[in-house]
């Protein structure tokens, strides 16, 4: 750090998460008093350790907020047809507002048919093609949780987006594409890069807001970060010693960025917070249309 350079601001995902959850509590209380609690069903196939931890956190957060939750655990050997039958049963239940199928799924399950099997107005993940299309058309719909959380973080830290150059590294349907669309809707000039982009560092160095979501540990180095940029690191990679590291070199982000998200503790906590927000919003819509 040069003598005149100020320390980069740490964008604390837990602080943003706590704000979001606190704002949800009165909305949940109102729903519970006038109608019923919001309801979330999580389908967990098999015994993937990471998925089990993630689902446990989701169920625990529901309990803390007063959201009704169910965990359905079909066996690892479940067929696509049987899983679709479970989902359709949840689609038909009026007390269940949101249905989430935890991934990854076993190889024998057709994940695309499962995705289409969730009714669009119960799609708390925002992954159904109808909701993806609504996102592109800038229409109200459940939005993918991690991208929506990133925009909430930028808003709550009062980081301007309009008129800024944003570079998204990664083109997944879960993070890269939807976060690029959300940034575009907030009037950023957006470039999407990926593993086949030539001169990647050159593109990244143009970014006022750099979103790293490519899934490769510390792939983005100081050569990729423009001094003063805001670095949003979505990566969650395990080092050989078991510690987590993002897609950016953390020391480079600390040294060059004006603000950055740490890993862990940055973007991660926002995903479940936005899942809760989607569940509550869908429950409110169901109540209005009842």
Does the annotation mark 177 as catalytic?
Answer: no
- Measured CA to CA, the distance from residue 233 to residue 263 in angstroms comes to 7
> Which of 102, 143, 233, 281 is an active site residue?
102
In the residue annotation, 125 being an active-site residue is answered as yes
Single out the catalytic residue among 123, 125, 233, 249. 125
- Euclidean distance between CA atoms 31 and 214, whole angstroms: 39
In the numeric block, which tokens belong to residue 262?
């740490």
| Angle (nearest 5°) at CA 236 between 185 and 261 | 55
d(CA 259, CA 40): 34
**Residues written for the chain:** 290
Active site residue 82: no
> What residues pair up with 185 in beta bridges, in sequence order?
none
59 close to 42: Cβ distance less than 8 angstroms: yes
How many angstroms separate the Cα of 22 from the Cα of each of 15, 18, 61, 64?
A: 11, 6, 12, 11
User: 174-191 burial, b if ≥16 CB within 10 A, otherwise e?
Assistant: bbbbbbbbbbeebebebb
Q: Is the Cβ–Cβ distance between 207 and 248 less than 8 Å?
A: no
Angle made by CA atoms 182, 91, 120, in degrees to the nearest 5: 25
Q: Which residues are catalytic?
A: 58, 102, 125
């Amino acid at each position: 750090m040069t003598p005149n350079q100020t320390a980069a601001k740490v964008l604390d995902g837990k602080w943003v998460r706590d704000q979001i959850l606190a704002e949800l509590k009165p909305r949940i209380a109102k729903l519970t008093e006038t109608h019923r609690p919001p309801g979330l069903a999580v389908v967990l196939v098999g015994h993937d350790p990471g998925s089990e931890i993630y689902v446990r956190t989701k169920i625990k957060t529901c309990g803390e907020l007063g959201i009704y939750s169910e965990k359905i655990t079909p066996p690892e050997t479940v067929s696509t047809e049987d899983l679709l039958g479970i989902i359709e049963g949840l689609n038909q239940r009026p007390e269940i507002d949101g249905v989430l199928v935890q991934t990854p799924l076993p190889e024998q399950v057709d994940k695309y048919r499962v995705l289409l099997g969730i009714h669009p107005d119960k799609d708390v993940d925002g992954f159904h093609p109808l909701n993806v299309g609504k996102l592109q058309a800038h229409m109200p719909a459940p939005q993918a949780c991690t991208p929506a959380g990133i925009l909430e973080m930028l808003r709550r830290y009062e980081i301007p987006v309009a008129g800024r150059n944003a570079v998204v590294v990664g083109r997944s349907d879960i993070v890269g594409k939807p976060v690029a669309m959300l940034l575009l809707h907030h009037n950023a000039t957006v470039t999407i890069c990926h593993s086949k982009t030539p001169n990647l560092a050159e593109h990244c160095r143009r970014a006022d807001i750099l979103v790293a979501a490519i899934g490769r540990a510390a792939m983005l180095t100081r050569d990729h970060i423009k001094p003063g940029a805001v670095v949003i690191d979505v990566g969650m990679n395990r080092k050989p010693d078991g510690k987590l590291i993002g897609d950016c070199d953390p020391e480079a982000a600390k040294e060059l960025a004006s603000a950055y998200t740490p890993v862990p503790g940055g973007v991660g906590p926002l995903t479940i917070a936005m899942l809760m927000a989607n569940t509550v919003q869908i429950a409110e819509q169901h109540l209005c249309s009842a």
